[in-house]
């Protein structure tokens, strides 16, 4: 273990599956203590047990303002008043690369990208960095289910990706570790794309 996040504390929302779980695992591996969060308390407890004593489960529905405040309050209590890693958004390559029939998704991710940049310039004076990760296709339960039903062709997606494979939650977790570590201390307001070269390759 490199311990790049040794002694740090983090809140990782949506961290009981998929990319969020990949990020939580990477943070714990690098020495951080992590709040595991989703709406389901049983899922949070199960994931925290898997991650070990560095993980603290706090279930909360982040669509509700009071629940967001409770999550923040309980996280501070769990970590003696300090949370070091919080504002790394998970966006998508579709924040900059438009796909047909995905209007709402593309627009929401583009909005998240701009929110990241505005928050970064507003909060920099307080020493808070705000960045986002923009993954391409990632091997999550959602992508697996779409592939199983024939909605997506996983092998075709891999062939379309210049690096010849789609991403994994673990690889996105490594990007999140970089953005949370001292190595990125002069980086804020950035959208870091991790898509295996998909968006750089313009030929469909």
Active site residues: 105
How far apart are alpha carbons 65 and 151 in whole angstroms? Answer: 35
DSSP 85: B
Q: How far is CA 116 from the centre of its chain?
A: 13
How far apart are alpha carbons 55 and 33 in whole angstroms? Answer: 6
Cβ neighbours around 166 below 10 Å, total? 24
96-105 contacts at long range (C-beta below 8 A, 24 or more positions apart)? 96/134, 96/191, 96/193, 96/199, 97/198, 97/199
Question: Which residues in 167-187 are b (16+ Cβ under 10 Å) and which e?
Answer: bebbbbbebbbbbbbeebeee
């Amino acid at each position: 273990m490199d311990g790049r996040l040794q002694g740090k504390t983090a809140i990782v929302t949506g961290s009981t599956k998929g990319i969020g779980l990949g990020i939580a695992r990477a943070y714990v591996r690098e020495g951080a203590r992590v709040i595991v969060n989703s709406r389901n308390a049983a899922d949070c407890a199960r994931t925290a047990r898997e991650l070990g004593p560095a993980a603290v489960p706090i279930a909360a529905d982040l669509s509700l303002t009071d629940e967001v405040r409770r999550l923040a309050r309980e996280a501070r209590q769990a970590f003696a008043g300090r949370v070091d890693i919080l504002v790394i958004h998970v966006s998508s390559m579709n924040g900059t690369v438009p796909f047909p029939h995905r209007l709402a998704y593309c627009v929401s991710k583009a909005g998240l990208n701009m929110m990241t940049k505005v928050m970064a310039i507003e909060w920099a004076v307080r020493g808070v960095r705000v960045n986002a990760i923009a993954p391409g296709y990632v091997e999550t339960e959602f992508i697996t289910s779409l592939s199983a039903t024939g909605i997506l062709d996983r092998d075709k997606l891999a062939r379309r990706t210049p690096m010849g494979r789609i991403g994994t939650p673990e690889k996105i977790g490594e990007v999140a570790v970089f953005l949370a570590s001292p190595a990125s201390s002069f980086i804020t307001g950035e959208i870091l794309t991790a898509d295996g070269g998909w968006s750089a390759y313009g030929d469909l």
